[in-house]
Structure 1
Amino acid sequence: MLHDTPDHASLTALDVDLTVVGGGPVGLIAALAARARGARVLVLESGLQARSAAIQSHLDDTVLTPDTHHDGPITSARRLGGAGHLWGGRCVPYDPIDFVPRPWLPGCGAGWPLAAAELEPWLAPALEYLGAGAAVFESQLPGDLAGRIARPNADGTPSGFVADRLERWTNDPRIDRRHRDQIAGDPDLHVALGCTVTGAQIVDGRVTALKLWTEADARVADLPAREVILAGGGVATTRLLLAIQAENPALLGGPDGPLGRHYMGHLNGQIADIVIDDAAFHGLFDYFRDAHGSYVRRRIAPTDRLQSEAALSNVAFWPVVPEIAQADHRSGPLSAVFLGLSMPWLGPRLIAEAIRRKHIGPPPYRRAAHLRNLVGDPVGTLGFVPRFLWQRFGARARVPGFFLQNPARRYGLEFHAEHLPDPESRITLDPTRRDRTGLPHARIDFRFAPADTAPILRAHAALDAWLRERGLGRLIYRYGPDVPERGILVEAKHGNHQIGTARMGRTAAEGVVDPQCQCFGLDNLHIASTAVLPTSSQANPTLSAVQLALRLVDTLARRDATWKG
């Protein structure tokens, strides 16, 4: 049942078992799963159904590192559906190697306090809620390609890379839209809009009430609570926890504890082109709809053994079309994409703003040169644009992007690499600035380090050697041999994946939540957010955050006898 800007009195009158803070993909799925287990649930969403400039201003945090971190309104959305309005929909699970000790990487020597097998049962249900098909993340390679890729190296050592890994894509990132009927019609699922949590009342190790601003009342008042799940984005969740800690200094490890530290995202971009010499290998990397219900795409990834032997962080690679902003590619379809993305009234409707800006670069834009490409390639453009628009916006299975082959077989090589945990990459509160609800803004100090870039360079070198040894292709670096690290840092700007600032740990000294996602020292406050992930993997974090949310709901359902399920 949807409540559009309710007041305090109407919310206080509700009798619920569980309060979920945040109406984005993770929060809504946690609420739906709790309802399936019999709980009466209230979701508190700060935003409305439509974008509100006043509420979006809550995200106007202080970014101390603007060269490495996007502004909050670009990376987050305060409205029903949350990050689903920005997320492309890529669903990739963390790899087993992410969970185990990796002493060759700073901050990863202890591994997770949770085994990969403990998340595995929640993979298929998470994909079902997300609408991303089945839990299938490998695809057999055609013909004899599998054997050629897997064969040992010339020196007898095992092959260093695989190309049968898949990323899956949800058919609709807007989880509020996918589950709209239940959200609108379930009398025991209450989704309240215009409700911003600003703090909590703590008594004897329990949250007794949430401090809640409602747009209807334009003030903060206490809302009683039994069990609470914080399910906002990593920055928003951490900002709220820091505000709670400011009023209760001994909580969550105290001011010098782990809360707000180890802020991670990913390093991604292109420092090299890939030239593909093998025809069968060349045909692997377009999007395709598999037999399991959604679009997928193959990725190239180092094996666990190579990661260990070459001291690599986790990383994935895939070929992409040439840089669309450069009109000298002379492709009508690519110029059509550039022109669409460069229009401020259209581009943000097509892809997330941070990704849009990365593709089109800064103004001024050479639109005339791109228009000449359209005129010079009318057949290619007219064949591509209507088909892509239908597959993107009209078809039941939504194509997430495009990949156009070219006769030269030369493409950008996209990498998506792990950002290592660093306690000095962190979020604190800004004592000089508050939003309209009275909550202090976050202050973001988001850092990349040489420890992040060096493994990525080694992975590129290893991939180039592997491609050449098998006759599959080769890399051509875009930056000189003495400056590839600078190339990585030029590309490295993030904030979309907000990981690690309320990390999971074995003890309160190590983390903010335990392996069950319960806050240390608060037995009814839990976190379902990318913020709890102790490492960043090569994977986008949404799928793993949903797995953890489903596991948390199962734990609460087993523990709470009042739930009917």
Structure 2
Amino acid sequence: MNLNLKAKPENTYDAIVVGSGISGGWAAMELTKKGQKVLLLERGRDVQHVTDYPTAMKAPWEFEHGGRRTDYDDKHYRIQGRNYNVNETNRHFYVDEVDYPYIQTKNEAFVWARGHQVGGRSLIWGRQCYRFSDLDFEANAKEGVGVDWPIRYKDIAPWYSYAEKFVGITGSKEGLPHLPDGEFLKPMEMTCLEKHVSAEIRKVYPDRRMIIGRTANLTEAKVGRGVCQFRNMCDRGCPFGGYFSTNSATLPEALKTGNLTLRPHSIVLNVIYDESTQKAKGVTVLDGETGQTYEYFARVIFLNASTISTTLIMLNSISSRFPNGLGNDSGELGHNLMTHHKNTVGGTYEGFADRYVFGRRANGIYIVRFRNVTDRHPDFLRGYNFQGGGSRPRANGGGMELFGAELKDHLTAPADYWQMGLTSFGEQLPDHSNFVRISKDVKDKQGAPVAEITFEWKENELRMSKDSVEQGIEMLEKAGLKNVRGSDSAVPKSTVHEVGTARMGRDPKTSILNGNNQVWGCKNVFVTDGASLASSSCVNPSLTYMALTARACDFALREMKRKNL
């Protein structure tokens, strides 16, 4: 018999981080920089910054279909394609839905976008970065919805600043308590139409503000990263490091310490719970290339596989102590799935005939939430923001009779109008009946059980979405736009901002995590991705993941030093 007696010592680390997306990259960086030996587990392939962005510098004519969406994309990225333009320029950063499906039991209202690679969705995210405020942190308690957040803005504000300084976020200071200012680089500039609409909104609606978006694209260089090139091809990977991703920012910092072991193709099946110590002692990993399973061990485990994937790992972590999933004493694990609902409006503007746009700005405008800020709306709780932009398209129509230089001139001529579109992002309330669980019947290409999602919009979301379309149309018409139309659908679309399935709270009877993102009853496991949120706000959530992760890592390190973990 040949026993590998060194297996456990060789597979033991100070900390294990599961998932290399936005929050996982942050956890790996924070822990390694403080001297911890960290194993970073990623279920997908490795992606090296710069060299593994195969389409980043390609022109449209270098693609077989000109970079357009194909029948193959319609089949393999059908659901994700509702939110992202998945095509031959970027499909390598998205999960193939045929090989890795998920089940929706009621309808297909929910969109789950996934990126199984080192960097995860940080390679394809929209990069909009906004802080939650106490309007968000206090809402559940004030309205008797869900559970009260165990933190308030003052608890996380320093960590927002900490994250923003490293990430590099362009934006303007506005002095709005319900959309707190951050540590901003110089803002990008609005187009002439956007400036006009912003001024008209301010004139007509004193309580409304349209500003330039706050985005994690550099307008000033940082060490190891160049400025945004205004190419707006971020979803191909940015060799300049012009936008924040795990690959361009946090991972290089972690690797520089010499304390990081990165293991791609590592599908975490479950957390191993030790009944004698009442702590987790490690994780079980399925090697995605060989099909073999391994066990890895650590004092502390951070679960950052993304909202749904983290929850599936926890649900699959069964022990005598936790027969219904790790930390699931409350029965809330997997429940309260939330995302943002969205709807669209748009119109045209006849003016600024002597103006055009410069470059392809990787950003848009932002209309700050104005519903239920000071006055109570009679039809719904919470609120929504708008994101969008105004630009001048090319003429392009006609020209069939032209040839050569005349055709080129025609195709590059601007249209005789401008256009503007707005997309609302509305808050969804937590509801126990929206949930994810492990499928008993369906498995993915590698034999792992898939997610089964039960999800529907409730009356509050439907009423809010209807109001957003009405108000979007009204604002554009007041600003002088013509041909203004909104979505005809009474049912809003889903964003990819899923949160809430392992929520924070003040009581283990109603939540999964405490105010430090620790699992109740298993204090050496932390969850700091979207699963941890107790409400969804209406702002993009990724900056909050970063701040919560940095905060939880700081707490974990102090607890390790005190030998409490």
**Common fold, TM-score beyond 0.5?**
yes
Q: Which amino acid aligns with 1:175?
A: T
**Considering only aligned residues, what root-mean-square deviation do their CA atoms show, in Å?**
4.4
Structure 2 CA distance for aligned equivalents of residues 413 and 321 of structure 1 = 9
Q: Which residue of 2 aligns with 1:115?
A: 152
Structure 1 CA distance for aligned equivalents of residues 403 and 494 of structure 2 = 30
Alpha-carbon distance change, 220 to 455 in structure 1, aligned in 2, over 3 angstroms: same
Structure 2 gap segments, 5+ residues each: 48-91, 171-181, 218-241
Q: Which amino acid aligns with 1:535?
A: S
Q: Which residue of 2 aligns with 1:394?
A: none
Structure 1 residue 218 corresponds to structure 2 residue 219: no
Alpha-carbon distance change, 551 to 381 in structure 1, aligned in 2, over 3 angstroms: farther
Query: The residue matched to 1:90 in structure 2 has which SS?
Result: coil
Structure 1 CA distance for aligned equivalents of residues 510 and 357 of structure 2 = 41
Question: Which of these residues, 126, 129, 135, is aligned with residue 163 of structure 2?
Answer: 126
What CA deviation, in whole Å up to 9, does each residue of 1:113-168 have, x standing for no partner? Answer: 21012111112332344343572399799999989755696xxxxx2311236321
Alpha-carbon distance change, 308 to 217 in structure 1, aligned in 2, over 3 angstroms: same
Structure 1 CA distance for aligned equivalents of residues 107 and 481 of structure 2 = 34
Question: Which of these residues, 214, 226, 234, is aligned with residue 307 of structure 2?
Answer: 234
Query: The residue matched to 1:241 in structure 2 has which SS?
Result: helix
Query: The residue matched to 2:438 in structure 1 has which SS?
Result: strand
Q: Which residue of 1 aligns with 2:346?
A: 273
| Count of residues in Structure 1 that have an aligned counterpart in Structure 2 | 472
Alpha-carbon distance change, 492 to 557 in structure 1, aligned in 2, over 3 angstroms: same
Alpha-carbon distance change, 304 to 269 in structure 1, aligned in 2, over 3 angstroms: closer
Question: Which of these residues, 309, 314, 337, is aligned with residue 263 of structure 1?
Answer: 337
Structure 1 residue 493 corresponds to structure 2 residue 494: yes
Question: 2:349·2:480 contact (CA, 8 Å) conserved in 1?
Answer: yes
Superposition deviation, residue 42 in structure 1: 1.2
Structure 1 CA distance for aligned equivalents of residues 102 and 157 of structure 2 = 36
Q: Which residue of 1 aligns with 2:424?
A: 415
Q: Which amino acid aligns with 2:295?
A: D
Q: Which residue of 2 aligns with 1:91?
A: 129
Structure 1 CA distance for aligned equivalents of residues 469 and 386 of structure 2 = 9
Q: Which residue of 2 aligns with 1:168?
A: 215
Question: Which of these residues, 14, 29, 32, is aligned with residue 29 of structure 2?
Answer: 32
Question: 2:350·2:417 contact (CA, 8 Å) conserved in 1?
Answer: no
Question: 1:262·1:500 contact (CA, 8 Å) conserved in 2?
Answer: yes
**What are the equivalent positions in structure 2 for 1:46-125 lying under 5 Å apart?**
46-49=43-46, 59-65=100-106, 67-70=108-111, 75-101=113-139, 107=145, 111-125=148-162
Alpha-carbon distance change, 307 to 83 in structure 1, aligned in 2, over 3 angstroms: farther
**What are the equivalent positions in structure 2 for 1:182-221 lying under 5 Å apart?**
182-202=253-273, 203=275, 204-215=277-288, 218-221=291-294
Query: The residue matched to 2:16 in structure 1 has which SS?
Result: strand
Superposition deviation, residue 233 in structure 1: 1.0
Structure 2 CA distance for aligned equivalents of residues 91 and 230 of structure 1 = 22
Q: Which amino acid aligns with 1:418?
A: E
Alpha-carbon distance change, 503 to 474 in structure 1, aligned in 2, over 3 angstroms: farther
Give aligned-pair identity as a percent: 18
**Structure with greater helix share of residues:** 1
Alpha-carbon distance change, 286 to 448 in structure 1, aligned in 2, over 3 angstroms: farther
Structure 1 residue 533 corresponds to structure 2 residue 533: yes
Structure 1 residue 135 corresponds to structure 2 residue 204: no
What is the TM-score of this pair, normalised by structure 1?
0.70
Structure 2 CA distance for aligned equivalents of residues 500 and 374 of structure 1 = 57
Alpha-carbon distance change, 111 to 545 in structure 1, aligned in 2, over 3 angstroms: same
Q: Greater shift after overlay, 140-149 or 457-466?
A: 140-149
Structure 1 residue 428 corresponds to structure 2 residue 437: yes
Question: 2:329·2:508 contact (CA, 8 Å) conserved in 1?
Answer: no
Structure 2 CA distance for aligned equivalents of residues 314 and 425 of structure 1 = 20
Structure 2 CA distance for aligned equivalents of residues 81 and 229 of structure 1 = 16
Query: The residue matched to 1:161 in structure 2 has which SS?
Result: coil
Question: 1:287·1:297 contact (CA, 8 Å) conserved in 2?
Answer: no
Structure 1 gap segments, 5+ residues each: 1-6, 154-158, 290-294, 336-367, 384-404
Structure 1 CA distance for aligned equivalents of residues 31 and 423 of structure 2 = 38
Q: Which residue of 2 aligns with 1:23?
A: 20
Q: Which amino acid aligns with 1:426?
A: F
Query: The residue matched to 1:555 in structure 2 has which SS?
Result: helix
Structure 2 CA distance for aligned equivalents of residues 41 and 536 of structure 1 = 30
**What are the equivalent positions in structure 2 for 1:84-483 lying under 5 Å apart?**
84-101=122-139, 107=145, 111-133=148-170, 135-136=183-184, 159-164=206-211, 166-170=213-217, 171-179=242-250, 181-202=252-273, 203=275, 204-215=277-288, 218-245=291-318, 248-249=322-323, 254=328, 257-270=331-344, 272-274=345-347, 297-303=364-370, 306=373, 308-310=375-377, 311=380, 313-320=382-389, 331-332=395-396, 378-379=408-409, 382=412, 408-435=417-444, 439-462=448-471, 472-473=479-480, 478=485
Superposition deviation, residue 466 in structure 1: 6.1
Q: Which residue of 2 aligns with 1:358?
A: none
Superposition deviation, residue 259 in structure 1: 0.8
What CA deviation, in whole Å up to 9, does each residue of 1:374-428 have, x standing for no partner? Answer: 9987348558xxxxxxxxxxxxxxxxxxxxx965444232212222222111101
Superposition deviation, residue 266 in structure 1: 1.4
Question: 1:213·1:437 contact (CA, 8 Å) conserved in 2?
Answer: no
Alpha-carbon distance change, 249 to 136 in structure 1, aligned in 2, over 3 angstroms: same
Structure 1 CA distance for aligned equivalents of residues 518 and 401 of structure 2 = 55
Structure 1 CA distance for aligned equivalents of residues 420 and 200 of structure 2 = 22
Alpha-carbon distance change, 411 to 374 in structure 1, aligned in 2, over 3 angstroms: farther
Query: The residue matched to 1:20 in structure 2 has which SS?
Result: strand
Query: The residue matched to 1:309 in structure 2 has which SS?
Result: coil
Superposition deviation, residue 513 in structure 1: 0.8
Structure 2 CA distance for aligned equivalents of residues 381 and 114 of structure 1 = 55
Superposition deviation, residue 472 in structure 1: 3.0
Q: Which residue of 1 aligns with 2:503?
A: 503
Superposition deviation, residue 454 in structure 1: 0.6
Superposition deviation, residue 252 in structure 1: 5.4
Superposition deviation, residue 492 in structure 1: 0.7
Structure 2 CA distance for aligned equivalents of residues 562 and 56 of structure 1 = 45
Structure 2 CA distance for aligned equivalents of residues 288 and 77 of structure 1 = 25
Structure 2 CA distance for aligned equivalents of residues 129 and 97 of structure 1 = 26
What CA deviation, in whole Å up to 9, does each residue of 1:20-54 have, x standing for no partner? Answer: 01112210111101122222211111122166999
Query: The residue matched to 2:489 in structure 1 has which SS?
Result: helix
Q: Which residue of 2 aligns with 1:520?
A: 520
Structure 1 CA distance for aligned equivalents of residues 479 and 444 of structure 2 = 54
Structure 1 residue 545 corresponds to structure 2 residue 545: yes
Structure 1 CA distance for aligned equivalents of residues 537 and 402 of structure 2 = 42
Q: Which has the higher contact order (CA 8 A, sep 6+)?
A: 1
Question: 1:77·1:83 contact (CA, 8 Å) conserved in 2?
Answer: yes
Structure 1 CA distance for aligned equivalents of residues 356 and 387 of structure 2 = 10
Structure 2 CA distance for aligned equivalents of residues 377 and 318 of structure 1 = 35
Superposition deviation, residue 450 in structure 1: 2.3
Alpha-carbon distance change, 113 to 381 in structure 1, aligned in 2, over 3 angstroms: farther
Q: Which residue of 2 aligns with 1:363?
A: none
